[in-house]
Structure 1
Amino acid sequence: MYLKHISVKSYGPIENLSYSFREDEKGNPVPLAIIGKNGCGKTLLFANIVDMFVEMKRQIYPQGILEVNENNYYKVGNLSYIKSGTRTSEVKLELLASGKKTTYIDVMSLNPKQAIEAKEVADTRIQNNQKFKDSGFYKSTDLQGLTSKEFEKEIILYFPFDRFYKPFWYNPDNYNKMAINSSNNIGYSKTNIIKIDLLENIKEWFRTVHLQTHLRDISLPNHESLPPELRGKIVTIQQDTKLQTHLKTILATIKGDGSYSVSAPNRNLSTIGLQGPSIHCADISQLSAGELSLFAIALSIVREWDLFHTNDSLDLSDITGCVLIDEADVNLHIDFAYRALPALMKLFPRVQFILSTHSPFLLSGLKKEYGKNIDILSLPDGILIEDLNAFSEITTAYEVFNAETDKLTKQLALLKEENERVKALSNKIIIYTEGKTDVKYLKLAFEKLDGFDDIKDRIEYYDIEHAKDTGDGELEKIYAYLQKGNDTNIKICMFDRDKPKYTVHEPYVCGENNVYKFSLQVPSHRDSGDLISVEHCLTDEALKTIDTNGRRIFLSGEFGVTGITSDGLHLCHHRMGTNPLEIIDGSNDKKVYSTDGHDETNYALTKDDFVQHIIDNDPGFDMFSFEGFRPTLEIIKSIVEDADRN
């Protein structure tokens, strides 16, 4: 049961829309994503599609349907929906079910007589309809003899934008009807197209599915690895039914991080739990809003099929029908929108999905999952968005965001672990820095310079080697955070001097809880206004030491406006800033190449490799003077003396 064509004229904000649904190379329906700003007609279009299905059901089940009360319409007609500046609106939908074409027509006119005379209404059935002539309203649904058995072969589901929102066109007399269960009497429908309480719709069915058992006899091999009493015997084992397997597949697809198991249902508490890599909950109602939204939508599809198809051997690819999801990205994290929902839809290749969305991440995810087999329709103009190249930037943004989120999660775990280690210390001096090379230089300086034996054995360093390079902004936050603690340690935050915003101009600043901050001190071979980091406590001559591979540290000031060093031997494509002491660290665009054009070697030595040469006492790096670090160590000593006095 698939929609084949939509035609809308002068209805709401839509002036003229004509869209024919496509199939892919395997004959499966191509999903349709409807986009546009608020007020562009997306929900109005959904209302007409749902109204068509309701009118079909009304004829098929004359004794009663769940979507509306008695003879009520699902959608209230209102002349105010005729597009401003026009006189007549028309909505025409075509659907194919069991080889029979159903046609739905809804026409409204401010002046039916003039509309007929001006041939704004071409259908003679409408022209001759007295009700239309009198009221300006006409609605019909031609089923072409479609039977209830044919209708029930396929699913039809509509997931509204908001479970509690009643739009202007919605007939309020039907609202309480939504959640009422129908009898199984002949002539009554026992299902509801409109799903407004997803959890309650699926929860009991989900429990029932997992109360089922599937017992299977298997023959054990006559093998010495088995106990003698079991060799060659036939035993009965319990295994998942195919339906249970499908539901686990759905959950694993949503989470995207491994397999999941379902705990035995609790008969007394009416609960059923879920266990997996990132879910441990006693009942499905404890899932997050996004997880529950996707899980409930997918399970509603399977449940609806299961109501009329009792064969437990079904595959998800057997399910056919039409599923409408208004505002499909509601409650979804961008990962669920970009990855999970498109992957979930792919589990049901023969279901026709019609979505509305505001999410560029969902559109990009659909494009990635379906390739050319996705249609994106822009309202109110009704234009198909065929060039999806713009979404490549969104895909890149998502991947960067996802990678950074994963990195941050791991980082936080490491920082938490490091904080616990630091808290366990007592009467120590803990130094926090912006980067991991800062720690390495401080350790070297304390070892190479005399006069600090009384404090160096008390010093611990915050382990950013395994956390991250903190950075000045993060170090400022750490300084504020540490003051909220209550411990006996002296905490010192050391800032570089390359960012004036974070430079401490006093010798040091004392906060609460023995927390101090200061800036790296300017060595005698630098000017007081130089923007320096820890490496600049060494002389430029030392920094430019060449290793055995011909690589060295480069400073921004060595490159002219052309990006070439004054000796003409090296070039860098990095756009130089105003700080001539900026270190060109060999990363990304900060790579340095030979100017001969044939050598692709990156000659820029990283900060970490440089300090490692010093630590390893490599030739040329083993005789550096560390006197440039003495003023900084003197400040640390002064802070410790101040803290010990207090």
Structure 2
Amino acid sequence: MYLKHMAIKNIGPISELNIELPFNDDGNPKPIIFVGENGAGKTIMLSQIIDSFYEIGGAAFNDIKVSQGMGHKYYKVSGAVNIQIGKDKGFSALQFLDSTNKIEYLDKVGEIADEPKTYISNFTLTSMTKENEKKVTSLNDENKKDLESNWLNGVYFYQPAYRYEEPFWKVDEFRHDERFMDSTRYRGELRKEIEIISSNNENKQFVLDLILDYILSQNSIQSLIGSNAEESLKDPNILLQVQTKVFDITLWTNINEILRKVKDNEHIEFQIGQRGKNRVSILDKETNTLLPISNLSLGESVLLNLFINIVRHACQYNSKSLNEIVGIVAIDEIDIHLHTNLQSKVLPQLIKLFPKVQFIITSHSPLFLLGMEREFGVDGVEIRNMPNGELITTERFVEFENAYKVLKETERYENEIKEQIKNSTKPLVFVEGDYDIKYIKKAAELFDKKDLIEKVKFIDADGYQNLNKIWKHNTNLLQAIPQEMLLLYDCDTKVENKTNDRVFKRIIPYMKENYFDRGIENLFSESTIEKVMKVEKTYIDVTDEIKKTVRGKEIVESKRYDINPDEKGNLCTWLCTNGDKDDFKNFDKVFKIFEEFLKEENSE
């Protein structure tokens, strides 16, 4: 069973999400990664998928739903608590393909009529009579049998962001996990977790069983075929028994391949250790040392358990190779607890071991995305930006900008600035961005102030955080700089104008009457921005009037104007090419700051 189509409207922060999930030409699912800032709806989106697992699985197995009166409890809260403020209806519609059967799920709030059909054309579930209700496609005996088979032999589970793995060295009395599994198989019961928060104990027992089965299988095969393997395997009964034992060896190979990827060591394998807590150990065949599994780091343990869960769920009743395992695995914030190498290299390699598993993932890690593109190719993985599900490339991932800013704070960044300073004896002006420099130079050209700005050297500090670091002396720059320095903050920065030793901290005055409430662009008047919008509407994002209810009273906020973050450079280029004196008139406030700074500098 694979998820084929998902449509969500007015649920949490998601106004409208409509996605057809990606597949390769061979029919195998592509990994899909949802990114976005905190609060963008990634976890809400995943919660709808997992809720559908409970509802669909509960239609086929009697050990999934939790009884409540004549009905059952929902995994996810349903009702008005999920609806966006100001909306009175919403829904989540999911469509799965199970072999040749179509399975649908609908979670709705309010009267939605047939609205899901406008997103999923062949969607059959319609609005229900009850106000808040979940519904799945009715299953007949035939497709219910197919569903049972797929779920028993496949993997369908969710690992939330709040997952954890208790360390192997922790005393049993202090463990808080609950066993879901049972050695007895009952008719109509799945006996597998759908939400996995911690799985150390289950996987230790699973691995121990596989080690024992592997040892017994090796001995059994040798006994069955004797000294003449070719002749013995002509007997169909012996061949069948050998094939059964080979399955155990296949499982053994599977879990060791995962272990070797996690540890990046081709010479290790699971082994039986001393009795007690270290019964499951790791043998390094190159050094002939036996290490307890407790030596794994938290990140390694989380990663190992995640992928052993896939093998355990898929091979509970029938052994199969990793590339044969089918199902859906949803993982929230897959990068938590993981070191950079595990994120960028090991994790993508592990995902690639399971080409028929549909991985639906959320992440904040640029390194993980880069690793996935490197391992699968640009066309082998799909990245969606929440909350609207826009298809993006790695380079457009907003976290890259944040990561780049962090890298700018490194020693190399400091060295680059020192190199610039070394070649200049002029006073230094640090600004928040390169566009600030371009705007100031254009204004100086228009108002004949070029001689003023030629007295200083501009340096792009790449954000107010770095200006603050310089001010607080958190870097070693001051020790290497003989010049006076002006730290020029944009108007939206909550700092005070101050002078400290050779450092002048000044904030560009805020123009309350103008459209933009942040950045140096706040200096441009309404008439200037209106002029821009007549020529290039895409440069400016305009939010219509917003209605809010506060303490029972409706409040209307006026339109909001923001620079389209993807067009900020184009806006700067347009204004610096086409702007006139009237457009740049408010930059006189910047020149006054420069004059004050240079006057103070000359008086020293």
TM-score of the two chains, using structure 2 as the length reference: 0.54
Q: Distance in 1 between matches of 2:97 and 2:188?
A: 23
How far 1:266 moved relative to its partner?
3.6
Q: Distance in 2 between matches of 1:108 and 1:329?
A: 33
Gaps of 5+ in 1: 166-175, 222-237, 405-498, 503-646
Q: CA 1:164–1:209 in structure 2 vs 1: closer, same or farther (change >3 Å)?
A: closer
CA contact (8 A) 1:34 1:357 kept: yes
Match of 1:140 in 2: 135
**Does the residue aligned with 1:263 lie in a helix, a strand or coil?**
strand
Q: Deviations over 1:606-628 (max 9, x none)?
A: xxxxxxxxxxxxxxxxxxxxxxx
Match of 1:85 in 2: 86
CA contact (8 A) 1:13 1:41 kept: yes
Alignment equivalent of 1:380, drawn from 387, 405, 413: 387
Amino acid at match of 1:328: I
Gaps of 5+ in 2: 166-175, 229-244, 411-476, 481-604
Q: Distance in 2 between matches of 1:49 and 1:278?
A: 46
Q: Which structure shows the bigger proportion of residues in helix conformation?
A: 2
Match of 2:2 in 1: 2
**Does the residue aligned with 1:86 lie in a helix, a strand or coil?**
coil
Whether 1:263 and 2:271 are equivalent positions in the alignment is: yes
Match of 1:334 in 2: 340
Matches within 5 A, 1:419-568: none
**Does the residue aligned with 2:335 lie in a helix, a strand or coil?**
coil
Match of 1:546 in 2: none
Q: CA 1:153–1:242 in structure 2 vs 1: closer, same or farther (change >3 Å)?
A: closer
Amino acid at match of 2:294: S
Alignment equivalent of 1:316, drawn from 302, 322, 325: 322
Amino acid at match of 2:94: L
CA contact (8 A) 2:104 2:125 kept: no
**Does the residue aligned with 1:308 lie in a helix, a strand or coil?**
coil
Q: Distance in 2 between matches of 1:268 and 1:156?
A: 32
Q: Distance in 2 between matches of 1:190 and 1:256?
A: 33
Match of 1:169 in 2: none
Match of 1:275 in 2: 283
How far 1:275 moved relative to its partner?
3.4
Match of 2:517 in 1: none
Q: Distance in 1 between matches of 2:478 and 2:134?
A: 72
Q: Distance in 2 between matches of 1:124 and 1:102?
A: 10
Match of 1:522 in 2: none
Q: Distance in 2 between matches of 1:153 and 1:328?
A: 24
Whether 1:40 and 2:40 are equivalent positions in the alignment is: yes
How far 1:93 moved relative to its partner?
0.4
How far 1:179 moved relative to its partner?
3.5
Q: Distance in 2 between matches of 1:121 and 1:219?
A: 64
Q: Distance in 2 between matches of 1:289 and 1:69?
A: 36
Q: Considering Cα pairs closer than 8 Å and 6+ residues apart, tell me whether 1 or 2 has the greater RCO.
A: 2
Matches within 5 A, 1:32-111: 32-62=32-62, 64-65=63-64, 68=66, 71-109=72-110
How far 1:253 moved relative to its partner?
1.3
How far 1:269 moved relative to its partner?
4.4
CA contact (8 A) 2:155 2:310 kept: yes
Which entry has the higher C-alpha Rg, 1 or 2? 1
Runs of 4 or more, structure 1, over 6 Å off, are 118-125, 218-221, 277-281, 391-395
Match of 2:296 in 1: 287
Match of 1:31 in 2: 31
Q: Deviations over 1:178-200 (max 9, x none)?
A: 64335522222211111111212
Q: Distance in 2 between matches of 1:281 and 1:242?
A: 23
Alignment equivalent of 2:249, drawn from 216, 241, 245: 241
How far 1:300 moved relative to its partner?
0.6
Q: CA 1:259–1:26 in structure 2 vs 1: closer, same or farther (change >3 Å)?
A: farther
CA contact (8 A) 1:207 1:265 kept: no
Match of 2:375 in 1: 369
Q: Distance in 2 between matches of 1:124 and 1:151?
A: 23
How far 1:25 moved relative to its partner?
2.9
Q: CA 1:316–1:278 in structure 2 vs 1: closer, same or farther (change >3 Å)?
A: farther
Q: CA 1:52–1:177 in structure 2 vs 1: closer, same or farther (change >3 Å)?
A: farther
Q: CA 1:391–1:90 in structure 2 vs 1: closer, same or farther (change >3 Å)?
A: closer
How far 1:394 moved relative to its partner?
6.8
TM-score of the two chains, using structure 1 as the length reference: 0.51
Q: Distance in 2 between matches of 1:296 and 1:124?
A: 38
How far 1:46 moved relative to its partner?
1.0
Is 367-376 or 177-186 further displaced after alignment? 177-186
Q: RMSD of aligned C-alpha atoms? A: 3.8
How far 1:36 moved relative to its partner?
0.9
How far 1:391 moved relative to its partner?
7.6
